[in-house]
Amino acid sequence: MSQGKLIVFSAPSGSGKTTIVKHLLKQPGLNLEFSISATSRDKRGEEINGKDYYFLSAKEFISKIKKDEFLEWEEVYRDNFYGTLKTEVERIWALGKHVIFDIDVSGGLRIKRKFPEQTLAVFVKPPSIDELKIRLKKRKTESDDKINMRVAKASAELATAPLFDVIIENDSLDKALDEAYTLVNNFVNPNA
C-alpha cells in the first residue's frame, strides 16, 4: 500500500473525538497510525513532543507554512497554529498504514477536499453545548476564559457537521465507540 486511507475525526473541543481515536488505534485489524499534528501552543500537562504534538514556536510554524510543508494548517486562535505536516502522512504511508487524524473542523474538511476518495471524514457531535461546557470544565486544563472561547467556537463548528461524511453523536461513549469502529472498519476493509 503506497498510499493508505485517511480517516479524519473532527469535533468541537470536549466532544470526545480524542477518546474515540485512541480506542480505534488499539484495534489491530484497522491498521491505523496516529497523525501527530504540529502546534505552536504550549504543552499541557504530560504532553510529549513528537508523541502528542510536534511543538513549534509561532515563528517556526510560519516558516514551515511559507515553505509549503503542511498538508493543512489553521490559526485556530490568535498566534495559536495547528497543522498536519506532509512528512507525517508520508511517514505513516511508508509504514503501510492508514492515517487517522484528530484535528479541527477546518483542517478535516481541507483534507477531505484534497483527497476526496481516500478520506472518511467523521464529525463527533456532543449531546449539547451545555454538556460540552461541563466536559471542558472537568478537564481542569484551561481557564474559564479559554473554555468560554472554545464554547463560542463550538457553535460555528457544529454548523459544519453536515459537510462531513458521517456524524456520530457522542451521548453514550460505548455506542459512539462501536459506531466509529464499524464505520472505520468498513472503510479500510471494504471487502471483509
**CATH number, domain containing residue 168:** 3.40.50.300
Strands 80-85 and 70-77 come out as: antiparallel
> What span, in angstroms and rounded, lies between the C-alpha atoms of 181 and 172?
14
Name residue 9's beta-bridge partners: 102, 122
Flag whether 75 is in a domain: yes
> What span, in angstroms and rounded, lies between the C-alpha atoms of 83 and 53?
10
Strand order from edge to edge, sheet including 32-34: 32-34, 98-102, 6-10, 119-125, 166-169
pLDDT value for 147: 77
Helices (H), 26-164: 58-66, 86-94, 105-114, 129-139, 144-159
What's the pTM? 0.86
Flag whether 84 is in a domain: yes
CB proximity list for 12: less than 8 A, separation 6 or greater: 105, 126, 132, 150, 153, 154, 157, 158
Q: Give pLDDT tens digits along the chain (192 positions).
A: 358 999 999 988 778 899 999 999 999 999 999 999 999 999 988 999 999 899 999 999 999 999 999 999 988 778 899 999 999 999 999 999 999 999 889 899 999 999 999 999 999 998 777 777 777 777 777 778 877 777 778 888 989 999 999 999 998 999 999 999 999 999 999 886
For 46, the domain range is 6-188
Flag whether 135 is in a domain: yes
Flag whether 95 is in a domain: yes
Flag whether 1 is in a domain: no
CB proximity list for 2: less than 8 A, separation 6 or greater: 93
Number of domains in the chain: 1
pLDDT value for 2: 54
